[in-house]
Structure 1
Amino acid sequence: MPAKSKAQQKAAGAALSVKRGDTKKSELKGASRSMEKSMSEKELEDLASTQRKGKPQHAEDRS
């Protein structure tokens, strides 16, 4: 599943860093904190590896 925005891609990268032990869990905020808890390392890797070119900074809220 590719990231829908640059912000989502960055949050996934931060959560992945914690999963791999490169960053302390206490340094996570907001979406990256919940992503770290609810997603597997493979899912985070897929989101974090999404190309940023052509992505909006933030995805539209469609609710």
Structure 2
Amino acid sequence: MPAKSKAQQKAAGAALAAKRGDIPKSELKGASKSMAKSMTEKELHDLAATRRKGKPEHVGKH
């Protein structure tokens, strides 16, 4: 599942780093904190691996 925005891709990258132990989980905030709790490492990797080119910074709620 590809990320829909740059912000989502960045949050997934931070959550993945925490899940792998590269950064402490206490450093996570907001979306990345909930992503780390609710998603598997593979799901986070798929989101984080999305290319940023052509993605909006944020996607509004509809």
Shorter-chain TM-score above 0.5: yes
Find the counterpart in structure 2 of residue 10 from structure 1.
10
Find the counterpart in structure 2 of residue 23 from structure 1.
23
Q: How does 1:47-62 map to 2 (within 5 A)?
A: 47-62=47-62
- Normalised by the length of structure 1, the TM-score is 0.97
CA distance in structure 1 between the aligned counterparts of 2:37 and 2:57, rounded to whole angstroms: 24
- Normalised by the length of structure 2, the TM-score is 0.98
Moved over 2 A (4+): none
CA distance in structure 2 between the aligned counterparts of 1:43 and 1:52, rounded to whole angstroms: 17
Find the counterpart in structure 2 of residue 34 from structure 1.
34
Aligned-residue Cα RMSD (Å) equals 0.4
Identical pairs, percent: 76
| Aligned residue identity for 1:35 | M
Measure how far apart 1:60 and its partner are: 1.9
Q: Which runs of 5+ in 2 are unaligned?
A: none
Give SS of 1:9's match.
helix
